[in-house]
Structure 1
């Protein structure tokens, strides 16, 4: 092989580590607070998304304790390294169409490099608990202020409540199953969606606009599209409707 060919191969091989090494881990830790509401750095602690502990070298969609991977991600064959994670953080849907991560991507290359630099260190064994707690507390602090309170107020109500007796099939719940930390909700349009147990709320509406008996409705909640509320006609329906199934 020519010296030029060897040089090209060396450059390609060394590109992946360079992505993380050129970033600023301190800035990346600040940026991670946007991720901390859905991802933990602690081994075995899954949230809306899987734990990021020991992420480098892991096959995408393979963490045994996480039940909510999309079929698309499980079939992708991706091994997480700097190169793959940089592409994922740029455009998750472009990299793996039909994956379920509600995230549009980070277009700024410098911000991605910072985040990768932080994650490379924070996901190593023994590094997670303290840094996770710090990042998550900073994330909670960033929610303070008039703008955030206004957004929360909008999420909590203020608009007209829909009539739950006349809904599209996508909002009509047919079955709810529960396994470990995951609820799976199947609607009348034949689609099934998985929710982390803390992201699904169960409510009742006994008013004239509430759902028919034994015909609960599912309504979106939150700003990221990963939360929902299921509304029943009466409290007794909740326990009867949920079926343990793994």
Structure 2
């Protein structure tokens, strides 16, 4: 098996290079930047560390917390092959990498990227772009224009009625409005929820608050 050879040798530059493109499947949910947590925790510096041990990431499942796992070639090989089989009860929505050689190359790349300072190395060496290393980080919401900063939001019957800082007023069907909270430094300023449009017709929107308390305080039930 390809992995067996890789597990008994030093990191091979060719395997690392081949594994870099496969990292796309990880980058959909993870960042290599320290402290940047997305759907999953940051992978920065996790090589050789205990699973479920990132202090400022609070969404690990109890199933993973209870496992005595350390991230290395063997554990990653089993995890990337089938997370559900390795840790029953995990909520990681990933079907696994079936091909042994693809998995071995990806692990070779991860070994390089997940060591201390590995993020800088893999970007500097051109293995992945800075954007891919960062992952799908949400947009900066603290400095949007007046047409996206919400000054009033009320709910009436089956709709949300939103007023933005430029004075514009918009009615939206409640089913087309996603209420979100972003407590990160990238999130909206306190007391200034923001409006993000999506959909072909722009009739689907996300309203992003800086905290749950803000949502409760700023949304009025009023017709």
Query: Scaled by the length of structure 2, what TM-score is found?
Result: 0.54
Distance verdict in 2 for CA 1:46–1:97, change over 3 Å: same
Where structure 2 has 5 or more consecutive residues not aligned to the other structure, the ranges are: 134-157, 159-179, 188-193, 196-204, 218-223
Who is 1:18 aligned against? Answer: 8
Indicate the structure with greater helix content: 1
* CA distance in structure 1 between the partners assigned to 2:104 and 2:8 by the alignment: 9
Shift of 1:127: 2.5
Root-mean-square deviation (CA, aligned residues, Å) is: 4.4
Who is 2:58 aligned against? Answer: 67
Alignment length (residue pairs): 157
Residue of 24, 40, 43 corresponding to 1:52 = 43
Q: Per the alignment, in what secondary structure is the counterpart of residue 92 of structure 2?
A: coil
* CA distance in structure 2 between the partners assigned to 1:97 and 1:16 by the alignment: 27
* CA distance in structure 1 between the partners assigned to 2:10 and 2:23 by the alignment: 14
Q: CA offsets, 1:147-176, max 9 Å, x none?
A: xxxxxxxxxxxxxxxxxx8xxxxxxxxxx9
Distance verdict in 2 for CA 1:80–1:19, change over 3 Å: farther
Who is 1:96 aligned against? Answer: 87
* CA distance in structure 1 between the partners assigned to 2:81 and 2:64 by the alignment: 16
* CA distance in structure 1 between the partners assigned to 2:6 and 2:61 by the alignment: 26
Query: Scaled by the length of structure 1, what TM-score is found?
Result: 0.50
Shift of 1:16: 8.1
Who is 2:116 aligned against? Answer: 125
Who is 1:218 aligned against? Answer: none
Distance verdict in 2 for CA 1:177–1:26, change over 3 Å: closer
Q: Residues 20 and 116 of structure 1 are in contact (CA less than 8 Å); yes or no, is this contact kept in structure 2?
A: no
* CA distance in structure 1 between the partners assigned to 2:15 and 2:91 by the alignment: 29
Q: Structure 1: which 4+ aligned runs deviate by more than 6 Å? A: none
Residue of 80, 85, 90 corresponding to 2:76 = 85
Aligned ranges 1:3-42 → 2 under 5 Å: 17-18=7-8, 21=11, 24-42=15-33
Q: Residues 112 and 122 of structure 2 are in contact (CA less than 8 Å); yes or no, is this contact kept in structure 1?
A: no
Distance verdict in 2 for CA 1:64–1:35, change over 3 Å: same
Q: CA offsets, 1:87-118, max 9 Å, x none?
A: 00000000001112110100100001100111
Q: Per the alignment, in what secondary structure is the counterpart of residue 25 of structure 2?
A: coil
Q: CA offsets, 1:170-228, max 9 Å, x none?
A: xxxxxx998x55xxxxxxxxxxxxxxx8xxxx98xxxxxxxxxxxxxxxxxxxxxxxxx
